[in-house]
Amino acid sequence: MRTIFQFGTCCRSLALLAVVAGAAALALSCATTSAYDDYGPDPILAGKGRLTLQAGGIPRLNFYVIDTATEKEVHADTPLQGAFAPSAFQASLVESNLSVDLDPGVYRVVVNTHIEESVELPEVEVRMGEETPVMIRVGRFQLIMVGGATRLPFMIMDYNMSNVLGRGMTTPDVRHFIVPEGHYKIRLENSSNGIDTQRPLEVSFGRITPIQIGTSITTEEPDEAADQ
C-alpha cells in the first residue's frame, strides 16, 4: 500500500516537473524569437508613456501635442494633404501615426481636420510605462462622382448653410475627408458638368459616409433656394 502511495507521489512530482519544464521552455522560446520584430507595437521607450489616438479606424491624422506645463509643442505630425489638394488619395496600406511616446505629463492634443475646426483634448495625462488611449471624435466621408466628372471643387458648410467651413476637391481615386463628427452640408456647383447640388452630410465616428453625386442621378430633389 505504501509502495503504491509512494509511486503515485513520484508520478505526481514528475508530472509537475514536466509541466514546469514545459512552461519554462515555452517562455524561453517566446523570448528568443523577439516578439517585437514583426507583430504588435514597439515597446514603450524607457522612461516614457505612450499616447494613442483612437479615431475609429482612421490610420493617420494631422495632429500636434503641446505640453500644458510649458506650453511648448512636443510632437507634431502632418502627413495628410489638405482637402483641396487634387492629387491626394486614399492609399490602401498606410502606416499609422497615431501613437507617440512622450515624457510623463499632462498634454493638450489638437487634431486638425479637413475643415477649419479642429478637435482638441485640453488635458491628457500620460503616465510612465503606460499606454493612454484617447478617443478622437472625428469621422470620414467620401464623395463618389458618377458620370465622368472627376476633379471638382466643393464646399463643406454648416448644416444651415450659413458659413463655409472648408473646401475640398473630388478626385478620380478613392479619397476620404476627415471632419469632426456632426451634421454638415455639401455644396457642389459646376456649370460645365451641369452639376448644382447640395447634400446633407452626417458624419459619425467609426464610419465612412458615402455621398454619391453625378449627372446620371435623376432622383435628386430640386435644390432649395439658397440665401442669395
- What are the residues binding other proteins (CB under 8 A)? 62, 64, 76, 78, 110, 112, 116, 118, 120, 137, 139, 141, 153-155, 157-164, 167, 181-183, 187-190, 196, 199-205, 207-211, 226-228
For residue 54, how many C-alpha atoms fall within 13 Å in the half-sphere facing its CB?
A: 7
CB of 160 to other proteins, least distance (A): 6
C-beta of 26 vs 54, nearer to other proteins = 54
Backbone phi, psi, residue 2, to 5°: -65, -35
CB of 64 to other proteins, least distance (A): 6
Rg of the chain in Å (alpha carbons): 27
CB of 162 to other proteins, least distance (A): 4
C-beta of 126 vs 211, nearer to other proteins = 211
Cell numbers given for 54: 483612437
Task: Provide the residue type at 186 as one letter.
Answer: I
**Secondary element (H or E) of residue 166:** strand 164-169
Beta bridge partners of 196: 189
C-beta of 101 vs 117, nearer to other proteins = 117
Helices of type H across the chain: 2-32
CB of 226 to other proteins, least distance (A): 5
